[in-house]
C-alpha cells in the first residue's frame, strides 16, 4: 500500500557505522592503474639493477683498483658493543644470522641466493648507546608514544644481550669521508644510462636514473631507507652491492658513522680474515657454556656456518 502519511525508511545502525568507518574508496579502474604502476616500478628497478651489474662486471678490475686506492684504516676496538637476541647469547661472534637475513652491507638469503649469493657480515658498534640505537632504531633516552626502542620491537629488557668486544682490525674501508669514494666515482661516472631506462622512468613518473657523485654515494650508503629495494623489488640495495664490492676488493670490513646513534659502526667481513692477523674476541670472561669466543683466521668458518 501507499499513502501520504507513510514514514520514510531510516538507514539501519549497521549502515551508519559502516559509513562512519570508511577510510578510503577506490574503483576497479584505480586498482588496475595502481597495478600497472607497481609493475612498471618493478620492471624499471630490476632492469636498472641488472644493467648496472653488467657494467660493474665488465669493469670489475677497474672497480677493484679504484676501491683499493684510498688508504685502508686500522682500528683496535676496545670494549666495543654488540647486541644479540637472548637465544644467541652463547654465540655473540656468530655472523650466521646475517646470511639468513641481509644487513646494510651484506646480502642474505632473504634474496634469491642463485642470483645474489649471500655473504656474512658481523656488525659491531663503538659503544652500547650506538649498538642499541642501531638494533632498535632509537637511543635509550628516546621514546615514541611512551614506548622505548626495544618495546616497539616487542622485546623485553631480558630478551637481548649486550656483549663487549675487543680486538685488532687492520684493513678497513673508511666510509666516513667523501674522499674515500672519489676514485670509485670516477669509474662509475663513465656508466651511461640507456635511453630505454630513461624512457621507462618517464613513463612511470619518477626521476631519471643518474650517476652519483661521492657525496651522493655516501648518502645513499648511509640512508635509512635501504631496506626498500630488498623488500619491494627483491634486489640488493645500494649499500649491499657496495659491501660486496668492498669485500671482493679484499677489505676486512667497512667502518661507517652510525645512522641512528652518535658513534661509529663496523661491518666485518669474516671471510677476509683468511691469512690475516686481525681478530675480534669477547672482552669479558664468557660463560663456560659459550662456544667460540674469538673470531680470527682459524675460526671464521665456524662462526659463519
Q: Look at the block and give the residue holding cell 631480558.
A: 158
> Pick from 258, 244, 281, 294: which is nearest to 60 by CA?
244
> What's residue 2's pLDDT?
44
Q: What cell was used for 161?
A: 644481550
Burial of 100 (0-12, 13-18, 19+ CB in 10 A): exposed
> What's residue 1's pLDDT?
44
Q: What residues contact residue 53 under an 8 Å CB cut-off, 6+ apart?
A: 241
> Pick from 69, 96, 75, 74: which is nearest to 85 by CA?
96
DSSP the chain: ---TTPPPP---HHHHHHHHT------HHHHHHHHHHHHHHHHHHHHHHHHHHHHHHHTHHHHHHHHHSSPPEEE--SSEEEEEEGGGTT-TT--HHHHHS-BTTB--TTS-TTTS-----EEEESSHHHHHHHHHSS-TT--BTTB-HHHHTT--GGGEEEEEEEEEEEEEEETTSGGGGHHHHHHHTTPPPPHHHHHHHHHHT-PPP----HHHHHHHHS-TTTTHIIIIISS--HHHHHHHHHHHTT-SEEEEE-SSSSSEEEEE-GGGGTT---EEEESSPPPTT----EESTTTTTTTT-
d(CA 142, CA 187): 42
pLDDT along the chain (305 residues), means of 10: 51 56 70 71 93 96 96 96 89 93 96 96 96 84 68 67 95 95 93 93 88 86 91 95 98 96 95 96 88 94 90
Query: Please, are residues 264 and 78 in contact by the beta-carbon 8 Å criterion?
Result: no
Q: What residues contact residue 165 under an 8 Å CB cut-off, 6+ apart?
A: 77, 79, 80, 81, 82, 92, 93, 124, 280, 281, 282, 283
Q: What residues contact residue 237 under an 8 Å CB cut-off, 6+ apart?
A: 104, 226, 227, 228, 229, 230
Query: Please, are residues 93 and 124 in contact by the beta-carbon 8 Å criterion?
Result: no
> What's residue 29's pLDDT?
72
> Pick from 253, 175, 191, 259: which is nearest to 49 by CA?
191
Q: What residues contact residue 232 under an 8 Å CB cut-off, 6+ apart?
A: 41, 42
> Pick from 229, 234, 276, 233: which is nearest to 253 by CA?
276
Amino acid at each position: 500500500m501507499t499513502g501520504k502519511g507513510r514514514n520514510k525508511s531510516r538507514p539501519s545502525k549497521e549502515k551508519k557505522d559502516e559509513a562512519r568507518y570508511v577510510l578510503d574508496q577506490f574503483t576497479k579502474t584505480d586498482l588496475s592503474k595502481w597495478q600497472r604502476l607497481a609493475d612498471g616500478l618493478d620492471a624499471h628497478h630490476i632492469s636498472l639493477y641488472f644493467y648496472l651489474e653488467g657494467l660493474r662486471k665488465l669493469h670489475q678490475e677497474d672497480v677493484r683498483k679504484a676501491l683499493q686506492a684510498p688508504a685502508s684504516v686500522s682500528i683496535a676496538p676496545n670494549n666495543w658493543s654488540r647486541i644479540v637476541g637472548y637465544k644467541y647469547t652463547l654465540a655473540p661472534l656468530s655472523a650466521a644470522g646475517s646470511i639468513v637475513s641481509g644487513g646494510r652491507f651484506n646480502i642474505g638469503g632473504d634474496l634469491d641466493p642463485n642470483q645474489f649469493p649471500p655473504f656474512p657480515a658481523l656488525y659491531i658498534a663503538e659503544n652500547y648507546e650506538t649498538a642499541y640505537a642501531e638494533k632498535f632504531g632509537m637511543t635509550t633516552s628516546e621514546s615514541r608514544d611512551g614506548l622505548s626502542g626495544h618495546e616497539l620491537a616487542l622485546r623485553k629488557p631480558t630478551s637481548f644481550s649486550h656483549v663487549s668486544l675487543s680486538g685488532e682490525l687492520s684493513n678497513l674501508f673508511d666510509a666516513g669521508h667523501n674522499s674515500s669514494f672519489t676514485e670509485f666515482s670516477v669509474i662509475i661516472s663513465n656508466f651511461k644510462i640507456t635511453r630505454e631506462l630513461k624512457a621507462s622512468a618517464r613513463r612511470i613518473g619518477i626521476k631519471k636514473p643518474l650517476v652519483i657523485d661521492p657525496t651522493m654515494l655516501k648518502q645513499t650508503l648511509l640512508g635509512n631507507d635501504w631496506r626498500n629495494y630488498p623488500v619491494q623489488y627483491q634486489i640488493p640495495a645500494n649499500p649491499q652491492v657496495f659491501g660486496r664490492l668492498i669485500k671482493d676488493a679484499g677489505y676486512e670490513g667497512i667502518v661507517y658513522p652510525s645512522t641512528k646513534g652518535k658513534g661509529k659502526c663496523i661491518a666485518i667481513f669474516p671471510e677476509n680474515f683468511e691469512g690475516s692477523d686481525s681478530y675480534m674476541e669477547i672482552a669479558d670472561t664468557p660463560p663456560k657454556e659459550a662456544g667460540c669466543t674469538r673470531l680470527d683466521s682459524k675460526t671464521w668458518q665456524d662462526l659463519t656456518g
